[in-house]
């Protein structure tokens, strides 16, 4: 990796052609980072998949398994996993290439601002991923599977069906259905990978809220009083988002909705302190 030249105010301006050549060079290096990350992720694909299974495994019982519906499904599922995990592995290199391209053209204050935003953005994203992985998913998956296993159909239609089967096929049919409709999970590896990766990404993005609030306040796009006035609406929005992204029970909705509300208030408070410090 070539060292990035220290940007200074007196650096000569580059021509458009030189900028395009530099951009092409950085894109090639970024693709190389992606290729290396994908290969590493594919080599450790089973370990990564087992790690993703950890929140689901307790809900599946003593012998947790994932299933597939066709011989080619595991290969393509692992390829998708390698690409997604490879992007995560290569992220530091991709970030370095982006910084190497835009960094020399920024002033010192702009560089400090971009570095701070990048640091806190990565930290908040990883916090959202960890929050979902360690707190929301284990409880959420357990609740969903227990809800399915405990579902028993006692509608008049089902009762009549039991009677008809008893008349047609004897008491054995009634015994087979006496416990109601039994649901057993058959978790497909492709579907589970899509679900957990999309949810991890969604939680990571939602935890970027403090940065968004801080930027709106500091850049004077929104005032502190306006953000506080919007708080009542944000509470409703936060719990609607929590209801969409989590299982339909109150506890998991609170586990996501309350942190979002607290992050909103903390972000507004920090932004207010920063603005007050600038004024003084």
pLDDT at 128 over 50: yes
CA dihedral of residues 174, 175, 180, 184 (deg, nearest 10): -130
Structure tokens at 274: 């920063």
Average pLDDT over residues 113-139: 90
Residue pointed to by tokens 């994932």:
66
Residues 6+ apart with CB under 8 A from 206: 128, 241, 256, 260
Question: Does a structural domain hold residue 252?
Answer: no
Average pLDDT over residues 127-143: 88
| Number of domains comprising the chain | 1
What is the SS3 string spanning 38-65? Answer: HHHHHHCHHHHHHHHHCCCHHHHCCCCC
Assessment of whether the complete model's pTM goes beyond 0.85: no
CA dihedral of residues 78, 84, 85, 91 (deg, nearest 10): 160
pLDDT at 35 over 90: yes
In tens, the pLDDT along 205-222 reads 888 888 888 888 877 788
Structure tokens at 243: 């209801």
Question: Does a structural domain hold residue 190?
Answer: yes
Average confidence score pLDDT of the chain = 81
pLDDT at 62 over 80: no
Residues 6+ apart with CB under 8 A from 48: 41, 81, 85
Question: Does a structural domain hold residue 279?
Answer: no
Question: Does a structural domain hold residue 71?
Answer: yes
- Each as own residue / partner, the long-range contacts of residues 148-155 (CB below 8 Å, 24 or more positions apart, any chain) are 148/183, 148/185, 149/183, 149/184, 149/185, 151/180, 151/181, 151/183, 152/179, 152/180, 152/181, 153/180, 153/181, 154/180
Question: Does a structural domain hold residue 8?
Answer: no
Q: 244 with 270: CB under 8 angstroms?
A: no
- pLDDT, greater one: 37 or 221: 37
How far apart CA 76 and CA 45 sit, in angstroms, is 12
Domain with 185 in it:
16-207
pLDDT at 69 over 60: yes
Q: Give the model's confidence band at 38: pLDDT under 50 very low, under 70 low, under 90 confident, else very high.
A: very high
Question: Does a structural domain hold residue 84?
Answer: yes
Question: Does a structural domain hold residue 270?
Answer: no
- pLDDT, greater one: 255 or 188: 188
Question: Does a structural domain hold residue 236?
Answer: no
In tens, the pLDDT along 138-185 reads 888 888 788 777 654 444 554 555 556 555 555 554 445 445 556 777
């Amino acid at each position: 990796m070539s060292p990035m030249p220290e940007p200074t105010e007196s650096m000569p301006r580059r021509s458009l052609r030189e900028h395009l050549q530099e951009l092409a060079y950085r894109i090639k290096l970024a693709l190389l980072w992606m290729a290396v990350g994908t290969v590493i992720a594919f080599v450790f694909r089973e370990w990564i998949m087992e790690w993703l299974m950890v929140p689901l495994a307790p809900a599946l019982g003593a012998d947790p398994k994932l299933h597939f519906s066709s011989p080619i499904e595991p290969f393509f599922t692992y390829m998708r996993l390698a690409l997604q995990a490879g992007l995560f592995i290569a992220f530091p290199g991709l970030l370095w290439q982006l910084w190497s391209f835009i960094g020399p053209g920024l002033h010192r204050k702009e560089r400090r601002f971009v570095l701070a935003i990048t640091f806190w953005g990565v930290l908040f994203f990883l916090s959202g991923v960890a929050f979902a992985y360690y707190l929301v998913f284990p409880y959420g998956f357990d609740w969903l599977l227990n809800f399915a296993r405990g579902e028993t159909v006692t509608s008049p239609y089902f009762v009549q069906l039991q009677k008809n089967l008893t008349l047609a096929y004897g008491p054995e049919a009634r015994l087979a259905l006496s416990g109601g409709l039994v649901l057993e999970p058959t978790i497909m590896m492709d579907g589970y990978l899509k679900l957990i990766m999309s949810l991890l990404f969604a939680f990571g993005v939602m935890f970027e809220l403090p940065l968004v609030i801080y930027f709106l306040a500091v850049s004077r796009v929104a005032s502190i009083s306006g953000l506080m006035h919007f708080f009542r609406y944000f509470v409703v929005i936060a719990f609607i988002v929590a209801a969409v992204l989590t299982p339909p029970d109150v506890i998991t909705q609170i586990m996501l909705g309350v942190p979002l509300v607290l992050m909103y208030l903390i972000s507004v408070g920090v932004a207010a302190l920063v603005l007050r410090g600038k004024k003084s």
